[in-house]
Amino acid sequence: MSISTDPAVLSAGVARRLPGDLAMWIFILAELAVFGILILAFAVTQMLHIDLFRESRLALDSSTGLALTLGLLTSGLFAALAVEQVRGARQDRAGWLLLAALVSAGVYVVLKLQEYGHLAGLGYGLEYNTFFTLYWLLTGFHFLHVLLGMLILGYMANRCRIGAYAPGTSRSGLESGVLYWHMVDLVWVLLFPLVYLLG
Amino acid sequence: MSASKTLLICWLGLVLLSVGTVALGGLGTSLALAGGMLAVALGKAWLITDGFMELRHAPLFWRVLLFGWPLAMAGGVWLTLL
């Protein structure tokens, strides 16, 4: 079911509608529920092992966490701007913006892999202690979502290149793909302070 | 204001709040600081849901539902820190 609409219509106060496909929103809610369970599991375990979590967190670099955050958020901006360009019938620009979103997401991937490599090199693997078990599970699960999101961004960039989002055609697929990417951002803004800073 | 400008303002807010989160984290560990960081995270979540995801144009039900997730997470995490 496509329930997209143009901002011009919305700003005129004619209708309040959800961008993208309803199925994508249901999928997003399901994903958020799973992440919610993991986040609360992390928080509750931290409550039971507060000193262990505080000491283990010292192995993480909050500056790296900030760079990871900025990479994802900037990618989200480019993806959102791409949707605006498609609505304005400028698919070429949208394609370039989606590529920029991919590059920015690539920064996140490179930094995260460096962090994973650094921690693994120090011996802080999945079985090192409870903190690192949850760290690898939680951030690893999110990392897989980033990779899937990048595949979607690449697919949509190619669709823009071949002119698949021409005026008069449905844009709900593009909107839904970008919504998924924003969901990845939304999860990260909660994960970042919880894993790197709080406690 | 154009939609693109709105998005750029949202992004700028997200960047500033992200830097603010790290700054708060660098001040030490206390319940007040933790609460501040969670509040900042909620601000970022609002910018993403209402700004990037365009839920400001959506029916109130969806707006509340999506913002309810970060609210529940921040509340749950806060309770574990008490």
| B39 vs A: CB within 8 A | no
Model pLDDT, residue B1: 74
Nearest-angstrom CA–CA distance, A154 and A13: 34
Predicted model pTM: 0.92
Q: What is the 3-state secondary structure (H, E, C) of A5-20?
A: CCHHHHHCCCCCCCCC
3-state secondary structure of A21: strand
A7-197 carries CATH number 1.20.120.80: yes
Least Cα separation, residue B16 to chain A (angstroms):
10
What ipTM did this prediction achieve?
Answer: 0.95
Q: Give the length of chain B.
A: 82
* DSSP state at residue A2: B
Q: Where are the alpha helices (DSSP H) in chain A?
A: 7-11, 22-48, 50-57, 62-87, 91-121, 130-161, 172-192
Question: What is the chain B residue with the closest CA to A177?
Answer: B53
Residue of A nearest to B5 (CA): A81
Yes or no: say if A139 and A170 are a contact pair by the CB < 8 Å rule: no
Flag if A46 and B80 touch (Cβ within 8 Å): yes
Do residues B4 and A83 make contact, with C-beta atoms less than 8 angstroms apart? no
* pLDDT per position as a tens digit, B33-75: 999 999 999 999 999 999 999 999 999 999 999 999 999 999 9
Q: Do B58 and A46 touch (CB under 8 A)?
A: no
Question: Domain residues of chain A, as ranges?
Answer: 7-197
A36–B80: do the CB atoms touch at under 8 Å?
no
Could you give the CA distance from residue B13 to residue B2 in angstroms, rounded to a whole number? 17
Question: Which residues pair with residue A21 across a beta bridge?
Answer: A2
CA distance B49 to A7: 16
Q: Given this model, what pLDDT does residue A1 score?
A: 41
**Nearest alpha carbon to residue B38 among B82, B71, B15, B3:** B71
Mean pLDDT by 10 residues, chain A (199 residues): 47 71 96 98 96 95 96 98 94 96 98 97 96 97 98 97 90 96 98 92
Q: Which residues of B touch A19 (CB under 8 A)?
A: 53-54, 57-58
How long, in residues, is chain A? 199
Query: How many helices (H) and strands (E) would you count in chain B?
Result: 3, 0
**Number of CB pairs, chain A paired with chain B, less than 8 A apart:** 125
What's residue A197's pLDDT?
93
Residue whose token pair is 């660098």: B26
Instruction: Encode pLDDT of B3-28 as tens digits.
Output: 999 999 999 999 999 999 999 999 98
Measured between CB atoms, which of A17, A43, A81 is closest to B76?
A43
Beta pairing partners, A2:
A21
Could you state, in order of their start, the residue ranges of all structural domains in chain B?
3-81
Distance from CA of A182 to the nearest CA of B (A): 7
* B2: helix, strand or coil: coil
Task: Flag whether residue B62 sits within 8 Å of chain A, measured between CB atoms.
Answer: yes
Q: Using CA atoms, how far apart are residues A8 and B50, in angstroms rounded to an integer?
A: 17
Distance (Å, rounded) from C-alpha A152 to C-alpha A180?
9
